[in-house]
Structure 1
Amino acid sequence: MTITREDELDGLKDIGRIVARTMQTMAKAIEPGITTAELDAIGAAELEREGAISAPRSTYDFPGHTCISVNEEIAHGIPGPRAIRTGDLVNIDVSASKNGYFADTGATFRAGPVTPSLDKLCRDGKQAMSVGIKAVRADQPLAGIGKAVGAFASKRGYTLIRNLASHGIGRALHEEPGEIPTWPTRAERRRIDRGLVLTVEPFLSKGGLWAVDGDDGWTLYSEPAAPVVQYEHTVVATERGAIVITAA
Structure 2
Amino acid sequence: MTVSNEDELLKLKEVGRIVANTLAAMGAALEPGMTTAELDAIGRRLLEQEGARSAPELCYGFPGATCISVNEEIAHGIPGQRRIEPGDLVNIDVSAEKDGFFGDTGASFAVEPVSKATQRLLRDGKRAMWTGIRQVGAGLPLANIGNAIGEFARKNRYTLVRNLASHGVGRSLHEEPKELATWPDRSERRKMKEGLVFTVEPFLSLGAEWAADGEDPWTLFSEPRAPTVQYEHTVVATRTGPLVLTLPA
Specify if TM > 0.5: yes
Q: Distance in 2 between matches of 1:136 and 1:44?
A: 31
Q: Distance in 2 between matches of 1:223 and 1:70?
A: 14
Contact 1:100/1:171 (CA < 8 Å) preserved in 2? yes
**Partner residue in 1 for 2:154:** 154
**Partner residue in 1 for 2:196:** 196
Cα shift at 1:186 = 0.4
Q: Distance in 2 between matches of 1:23 and 1:112?
A: 19
Where do residues 1-248 of structure 1 align in structure 2 (5 Å cutoff)?
A: 1-248=1-248
Cα shift at 1:40 = 0.3
Q: How many residues align?
A: 248
Q: Distance in 1 between matches of 2:113 and 2:241?
A: 35
Q: TM-score, normalised by structure 1?
A: 0.99
- Aligned partner of residue 10 in structure 1, secondary structure: helix
Contact 1:107/1:231 (CA < 8 Å) preserved in 2? yes
- Aligned partner of residue 234 in structure 2, secondary structure: strand
Q: Which amino acid aligns with 2:91?
A: N
Q: Distance in 2 between matches of 1:178 and 1:85?
A: 35
RMSD across aligned positions (CA): 0.5
- Aligned partner of residue 38 in structure 2, secondary structure: helix
Contact 1:51/1:98 (CA < 8 Å) preserved in 2? yes
Q: Which runs of 4+ in 1 moved over 4 A?
A: none
Q: Distance in 2 between matches of 1:73 and 1:11?
A: 32
Extract unaligned runs of 5+ from structure 1: none
Q: Distance in 2 between matches of 1:113 and 1:97?
A: 35
Extract unaligned runs of 5+ from structure 2: none
Q: Distance in 1 between matches of 2:241 and 2:92?
A: 26
Q: Distance in 1 between matches of 2:90 and 2:163?
A: 21
Q: Distance in 1 between matches of 2:188 and 2:75?
A: 24
Contact 1:91/1:230 (CA < 8 Å) preserved in 2? yes
Cα shift at 1:234 = 0.2
Q: Which amino acid aligns with 2:108?
A: T
Q: Which amino acid aligns with 2:54?
A: S
Q: Distance in 2 between matches of 1:176 and 1:187?
A: 17
- Aligned partner of residue 26 in structure 2, secondary structure: helix
CA offset digits 1:203-226 (Å, max 9, x no partner) = 000111110100011100011111
- Aligned partner of residue 177 in structure 2, secondary structure: strand
Q: Distance in 2 between matches of 1:225 and 1:112?
A: 21
- Aligned partner of residue 64 in structure 1, secondary structure: coil
Cα shift at 1:113 = 2.4
CA offset digits 1:41-98 (Å, max 9, x no partner) = 0000000000000000000000000000000000000000000011111100000000
Cα shift at 1:30 = 0.6
Q: Distance in 1 between matches of 2:233 and 2:113?
A: 25
Cα shift at 1:152 = 0.3
Q: Distance in 2 between matches of 1:241 and 1:88?
A: 36
Q: Which amino acid aligns with 1:175?
A: E
Contact 1:104/1:233 (CA < 8 Å) preserved in 2? yes
Contact 1:141/1:190 (CA < 8 Å) preserved in 2? yes
Q: Kindly, what percent of the aligned residue pairs are identical?
A: 65
